[in-house]
Structure 1
Amino acid sequence: MISKCFRRNLVFTIFLFLLPFQIFAIDQKDCEKMIIEGVEAMNKKDFTKSLQILTKTRKIAQDNKWYREEFLATNNIGANYYMRLDYGEALNNYLDAYKIAVAHLDEKSEMTVLNNIAILYSRDRKTEKAEDYFLKAYELAGQVNNNISKGLYAINLTIVSNEKKDYKTAKKYIDEALKLTLDSPYYLLARSTYVETLVNLKQFDEAEKISTELLPKLNGVEHSEYKTQIFYNLSTIAEQKNDLQKSFHYLKLAEASNLNYDFKENIFEKFSNLYKQKNNIERAVSYKDSIMVIKDSVNKIKNGQLFENSKIKFELQNSQKNLAESQEKLTTERSLFIKGILLAIFVFIIVFWALRNSIVKNKQQKIIEQSNAEIAKLELEKEKKNKEILENQLKEKEVLALLEEEKYKNEIEAKNRKLTTKALQLTTKIELIDDLVKTLSRQTDDFENQDVSNIIKQLKIFQRQSREEESFFIHFEEVNQGFISKIKTLHPDLNSNDIRFLSYVYMNLSMKEISSLLSITTEACRKRKERIIKKMEQDDNLDLYDYITSL
Structure 2
Amino acid sequence: MAGRAEKNALKERWTAYLKEYVQNTPSSKFYMNEINKINRSNADSLKPAQLAASYYPMCMMFTEKGDFLAEVLFARMVFNEVKKTASKKTDFLIMAKYANSAGIGYTMLGFHEEGRKMFDRGSAIARKYGFRNLLSQIYTNQAQLYYDTGDYAKALRMLISLKSLAGASSILYNNMALVYCGQKDMPTAIACLDSAIQCAAGNRDLLSRVYINKGGLLTEMGKYKEAEKALMMAEKTLPGEKFMVSELMIRLNFVQLYIAMGQKHKALSEIEYIEEKVMPKQSDAIKGKYLKEIATLYMKLNYYERASRCLQESMKLNDSLNFDNQKRQLFQMMTWYDIAQLRNDNMELKMKYDFANIKLRNSMIIVVATILVAVLLSVLVVVSIKKRKNEQRQSAIILEQEKKLRMLEQKEHEWEKKRMESEIGKKSRELTTFSIDLSSIDNLHKNICEELAELSKDIAEEDTRKRVNGISLKLRQQTANRLNEGFKTYFNEVSPLFDAKLKEAHPNLTLNDCRLCAYIYMGLTSKEISQITFREVESVEKSRNRLRKKISLGSDVSIRGYLQSIIDDGQDSAS
Give the TM-score, by structure 1 length. 0.48
Bigger RCO of structures 1 and 2 (CA < 8 A, at least 6 apart)? 1
Give the TM-score, by structure 2 length. 0.46
- Structure index of larger Rg: 1
